[in-house]
Chains A and B, each alone.
Chain A
Amino acid sequence: MAEAPRMPIESGCPDPIQYMHPTMRRNYGQWVYHDRPRSGVLHHTSKNNEEVWTVRCGTARQMDVYTIRKLADIADEFADGFVRFTMRSNVEYMVADGAKVEPLIVALIEAGFPVGGTGPSVAMISHTQGWLHCDIPGTDASGIVKSLMDELHEEFTREEMPNRVHMTTSCCQINCGGQGDIALNIQHTKPPKINHDLVANVCERPTVVARCPVAAIRPAMVNGKPTLEVDEKKCICCGACFPPCPPMQINDPEHSKIALWIGGKNSNARSKPSFHKLVASNLPNNPPRWPEVGAVVKNILSVYKDDARDWERMGEWVDRIGWPAFFEKTGLPFTKFHINDWKGARHELNSSAYIRF
């Protein structure tokens, strides 16, 4: 009789205490306040009068094992062998001795890891998989992020923004990358190109029909074969049909463009959380450096940096000055596409006498 296969041990999410720096373990839930001695460094004090310094550095997120081993070596040399990651793929080293902070910073910078991303800085861009690993990408993610972070490097290592700036990048409109103060998402501008010979073999057609948010997809017969067709007047080019039906190709090397959205915020501080809103589109998907996207991002950041008050997140700044001023100050065009015509759109229109002259 064949040997029974090894069955998995369903251990789930591991207990972090065993991997936690001992100072954090001892003072779990006992922290009282923190300060930021310099950009990239947090200094926390606990009820027990214990202190911990955190040094934060950026990474490429997709790392080779040599880079990870280097991070481990730095942990051994300076941080008692402990690290943690942030949700934006930064690495944090915790040290209980303030004298170790400077040598740790030097070691990280020498090893090529920028130190920063704390306080009012431009944080590392959280992003998706893109051409490297996604099955429906309109663009790359790691590459755009690398190009942008090169350009915004100094805004990561300094704390000179009015408040923190969280950026996100998504390689399609499904937007796995998330909401951000600035979000870069691909925007498809043409309906899917259908390979009718393949649809019946590859796609569960009713599922695809059900997926369309505007009911633009219907069954059809082409060349004697069952397939699907798209009412191109209705189609909003969202791409939702492509994942369950790859013969409905939505990605287009020329016509899939990059759009910028601003003002997304998950924190409740001062104002309720907000979604990001469209500011620019039709930017070319231009690897390997996406210079047009970088130029618009830097323009928006520079206007925000000059014009916003301390503590104002990007969306709060626009709420204060108004959208006409935003387009005036950035020089970006305001088009009919900025006006929402989707469900619930009228809530986004101005129904007041509030107009600035």
Chain B
Amino acid sequence: MAELYNTPNLDELENGPWPSFVTGLKRLASDSHAGAEMARDVLGTLETSYVTKKGYWKGGTVGVIGYGGGIIPRFNELKNEDGTYKFPAASEFHTLRIQPPAGMHYTSTLLRDMCDMFVDNGGSGLIAFHGQSGDIMLQGATEETTQTIFNTFNDYGFDLGGAGPAVRTGMSCVGASRCEMSNVNEQAVLRTLVNAFLDDMHRPALPYKMKFKVSGCANDCMNTVQRADFAVIGTWRDDIKVNQDLWKAMVADKGRSYVIDNITSRCPTSAMTLNEDNSITIDNKNCVKCMHCLNVTSPLTHKYIAKGDVEPILATGDDKGVMIIMGGKRTLKIGDLFGSVVVPFMKMDTADDFEAIEDLAGEVIDFFAENALEHERTGEMIERIGVVNFLEGIGLNVDPNMVNSTRTSSYVRMDTWDEEAVKWFENKAEASA
């Protein structure tokens, strides 16, 4: 076992109550597995960064046979004057991105097997659960060990995720597996979308990254609206279900001012009226499914419910489905963008529904591949070409739910107004048929 470097700065990060990644790295570095020396030299490199306040990893090209992406290559830039590596065992420190099960469910056996498969094949033993795209990050492989580690995981049933200009690993919330707010089979939607486009994930050939994320309700625990090019959010379009007896019991207990201050007056469209007899009236036509009243009342339900009853104070409706919001992204290049609504509602029950969302995603990817500039995300493309061109390109009709307000600028050519008006009435008639 090689002796550890002196790391006074990193040692400071072993103090305090929160779990320390430094303690973990030191444990790996003191071990006898094949990747231990890499862990030791990574600590040396990182300590240097803490002293000089500079990063020392550069990218490159490392892959596995058959795929074009999915490995994040890192080569060490810290060299001695004679060109040799200062930390030779960490001259390479590549990461394999592995797609986790949808919803990030694991068994203890799976976790242990992943650890064993990684270290037994020469990996450093450092794993991040999970990266910001949702991948399991196996951190610390060389060009030589990358292929073996991948083969082992792949034989076990796991696949590489996306990197570079490609469809990326997606994320879905815990949803139907443990949440009463779930409006759709989130994990099935995610798998449908990602697994239909594996070729675009494994062989990066798109203008830039394309991310699918799925949240089961407007609480959006997966942050789809800001982080996904193609965000799917569960919702419903019939009435909120109210158990008036439980509601009244809650009002009697918590008091009218608590209910007014914390629930009814927080409704963004003022759709809730607390009646004189403590019952609630909801103007469902005006409910925007923001989730606030459901969030407040769900945890209170158990206080007023009789044992054996399984109805909450308030619940989502029965006519469930999803909305699709497109173009969310982080800063690079034109600044942060929210996604915007392109499909206000879509049922997601039958095999045909799932096929329909897959077809739409296919249209979107084709349009993106053909029309986006290099290094342009869908949000930036939509901003550049205008959302109407985008909608026409992927074959979607316009809908007033897509805007916060109608246009304020009169600088527009409107000589096909009449045809567009006819289209609106035809589409309306078709929808109600």
Contacts and interface: CB of A to CB of B under 8 A. Distances in A.
Contacts of A177: 132
A45 interface: yes
B5 interface: no
A356 interface: no
B424 interface: no
Given A16-B105, A58-B19, A85-B106, A178 B223 contact: yes
Nearest to B50: A287
B111 A268 contact: no
Interface stretch (A1-9, A99-107, A326-334): A1-9
B24 A66 contact: yes
Nearest to A149: B18
Contact of B112 (A69, A175, A287, A288): A69
A351 to B, nearest CB: 13
B25 A146 contact: no
Interface in B1-30: 9-10, 12-13, 15-22, 24-25, 27-28
Interface string A123-156: 0001011111111111110110011011101000
Contacts of B182: 29, 31
Given A62-B24, A85-B130, A178 B15 contact: no
Contacts of B346: none
A288 B223 contact: no
B332 A82 contact: no
A14 B101 contact: yes
Contacts of A238: 331
Interface stretch (A47-55, A217-225, A226-234, A296-304): A47-55
A240 B291 contact: no
B79 interface: no
A158 interface: no
B130 A73 contact: no
B290 A269 contact: yes
Given A61-B128, A68-B115, A84-B103, A13 B194 contact: yes
B104 interface: yes
A270 B28 contact: no
Interface in B154-179: 154-155, 157-160, 169-171, 174, 176-179
B87 interface: no
Nearest to B191: A13
A59 B20 CA distance: 8
B330 interface: yes
B59 A179 contact: no
A268 B290 contact: yes
Contacts of B53: 139, 253-254, 256, 285, 287
A81 B13 contact: no
**Which of A43, A131, A253 has the largest number of chain B CB atoms within 10 A?**
A131
Contacts of B108: 71-73, 75-76, 81-83
Given A32-B315, A146-B21, A85 B176 contact: no
A267 interface: yes
B118 interface: yes
Interface of B: 9-10, 12-13, 15-22, 24-25, 27-28, 39, 42, 46, 49-50, 52-59, 64-67, 72, 74, 93, 95, 99-112, 114-115, 118-119, 125-132, 134, 139, 150-151, 154-155, 157-160, 169-171, 174, 176-180, 182, 185, 187, 190-191, 194-195, 198-199, 201-202, 218-227, 261-262, 266, 268, 288-292, 295-296, 298-303, 305, 308, 310-313, 315, 330-336, 338, 374-375
8 pairs of A and B residues whose beta carbons are closest in the complex: A150-B16, A64-B24, A253-B53, A72-B108, A131-B49, A268-B218, A65-B115, A12-B195
Given A68-B127, A84-B106, 14 more contacts: A13-B195, A14-B159, A15-B187, A32-B310, A64-B28, A66-B27, A68-B112, A81-B108, A84-B103, A84-B105, A150-B16, A150-B17, A153-B17, A287-B53
Interface of A: 5-16, 18-21, 24-25, 28-29, 31-36, 43-49, 52, 54, 58-69, 71-73, 75-76, 81-87, 89, 91, 94, 112-114, 126, 128-140, 142-143, 146-147, 149-151, 153, 173-179, 207, 210-211, 213, 238, 240, 246, 251, 253-254, 256, 264, 266-271, 273, 275, 285, 287-289, 309-311, 342-343
11 contacts: A12-B201, A16-B104, A19-B105, A62-B126, A64-B127, A83-B106, A83-B108, A133-B57, A140-B49, A251-B54, A268-B291
